[in-house]
Amino acid sequence: MTPNNPAAPIPHSKTPSTRREWLLRAAGGFGALPLLDLLARDVAATENVVIPGAPSNAPWTRPATAKSVIFLFMEGGPSHMDLFDPKPLLNKLAGKPIPSSFKPVITPMGEFYSPILPSRRKWKQYGESGAWVSDWLPHTAECVDDLAIIRSCWADGLNHVNGVCQMNTGSTRSGRPSLGSWVSYGLGTENQDLPGYVVLHDYPKSTVAGGPRNWGTGFMPATHQGTRIDAGDVPIANLRPPVGVAGGRQEAKLALLDQLNRRHMDDRRDQTELDARIKSYELAFRMQAEAPEAVDLSRETAETFDLYGINDPVTESMGRNCLLARRLVERGVRFVQLYCGAGSKWDSHSDLEGNHGKCCRSSDKPVAGLMKDLKRRGLLDQTLVIWGGEFGRTPMSEKGDGRDHNANGFTMWMAGGGVKPGITLGATDEAGLHAIEDRLHVHDLHASILHLLGADHTKLIYRHQGRPERPTINEGQVCTKLMA
């Protein structure tokens, strides 16, 4: 009993049962002091919302020209000199060693001096911009006046695992948050009933080089990781409740599960995975109302299906994902990453003609369909579309009819979301070996993407173990030549 209320029971205080538990609880009291300060700073930085769903008035926010991103990732390394960057020298020196005037390129096989492999492509200039596109991409060629083709990208990864990792996280080594996670952390989502960051695969059973770390959060809270959705008729497994389970019964089960999870989390506040699991259950429950409509492609017209190539078995998988990407950004999803050729299908150490021919046939019409659909719906202005892989290919041959990896110079393109349309930026040398003009490293690309989305990459900070971590690892410059 207490003096003020004799009938009131004495509050129960759980007594530590072990020495370890006592130390944990005692130390937790001291840890709460700096934690309160950090939380106060977070609140101070996020008081007035200016960007829907985002922490506004945060020091890293700036005026945005894009609300969302669709990153079309050609996994495996598309050959820039056979798609967007014609090099007549390759045909002139076909079968000969690369001239000594060109710096050697380092590949997974070491310095590469194999004979030059000619390009069998036919080239043509398209649109008012006069951009060069090969005969492998006739549908994309129709959209060149909306594209900013960047011929001078470069990276550090020599193989697929570290190359894909760097293009996603900025680092060739695992352990850092993905670009989509930084966007989720810094800008939030516009639709609380759908994930803010979604990952799509065109081959559901194939694994992207490096796996889920490419859309993971690294040292950041796990709630910002990407949500993978597969291609096919059932993009999200177990989305609908089992037959016979009423809504009230499911709510009661989820409430009990939430109570148990939170009780378990009370003494494990440093384990963000558990908090992410709780939030994922909450999101999954909300998604049962919103997501079925979002991923239901049957609501689209036959004309739209034809535009994306969904009626053709060759383009069906990529077409479905491109259409799904449009539906997701239309409903407020902030970042959609679509892997085309999941499992390094663009890799072409041999049979470049057969390999790239197949990849281009399966992706060209769906990608162009996405661009045309976004534009006619008025979504392209607010959606940043990115196309590219982890690196390009070498001008020298491998195995007689293939090309090896080349991270020293390759092509990507961007469109919409504040990007200047109809331009070709940068250049590689005459052999397509090295970027030599307006060179853009992966960090520059990430800085520019964040800039268009309304985030300053130098001020977007997450403190990890006392260090101020930034998405571009204290490097990178915004490419103003890309901006409209």
Structure tokens at 135: 């005969």
- Residues in the chain, overall count: 484
Classify burial at 92, counting beta carbons within 10 Å of its beta carbon; exposed 0-12, middle 13-18, buried 19 or more. Answer: exposed
DSSP states along 332-365: T-SEEEEEESTTTTT--SS-HHHHHHHHHHHHHH
Residue 27's Cβ-side half-sphere holds a number of Cα atoms within 13 Å equal to 7
385 backbone φψ class: left, alpha, beta (φ>0; ψ -120 to 50): beta
Alpha-carbon gap, residue 484 to 478, rounded angstroms: 13
Alpha-carbon gap, residue 290 to 293, rounded angstroms: 6
Assigned CATH topology for domain 61-236+295-482:
Alkaline Phosphatase, subunit A (3.40.720)
Tell me the C-alpha to C-alpha distance, in Å, between residue 40 and each of 37, 131, 271, 349. Answer: 5, 52, 21, 54
Q: How confident is the model at residue 65 (pLDDT cuts 50, 70, 90)?
A: very high
Per-residue pLDDT, averaged over 111-129, amounts to 90
Alpha-carbon gap, residue 32 to 26, rounded angstroms: 10
The pLDDT, as a whole number, for residue 257 is 67
Structure tokens at 460: 């977007």
Q: How confident is the model at residue 100 (pLDDT cuts 50, 70, 90)?
A: confident
Alpha-carbon gap, residue 158 to 268, rounded angstroms: 39
Per-residue pLDDT, averaged over 265-275, amounts to 63
Structure tokens at 142: 């129709």
Q: How confident is the model at residue 320 (pLDDT cuts 50, 70, 90)?
A: very high
H and E: helices and strands count for the chain? 11, 19
Alpha-carbon gap, residue 61 to 73, rounded angstroms: 26
> Parallel, antiparallel, or unpaired for β 227-230 and 197-201?
parallel
Residue 407 DSSP class: -
Higher pLDDT, 246 or 126: 126
The answer on pLDDT for 174 being more than 90 is yes
The pLDDT, as a whole number, for residue 275 is 64
- Of 40, 343, 406, nearest to 205 by C-alpha is 343
- Of 354, 396, 402, nearest to 89 by C-alpha is 396
Q: Are the CB atoms for 177 and 471 separated by under 8 Å?
A: yes
Per-residue pLDDT, averaged over 234-258, amounts to 62
Q: How confident is the model at residue 396 (pLDDT cuts 50, 70, 90)?
A: very high
Q: Highest-confidence range of 128-142, 191-205, 271-285, by mean pLDDT? A: 128-142
Radius of gyration of the chain (CA): 25
Higher pLDDT, 268 or 325: 325
Structure tokens at 116: 């030059």
Alpha-carbon gap, residue 411 to 133, rounded angstroms: 12
Q: Are the CB atoms for 482 and 414 separated by under 8 Å?
A: yes
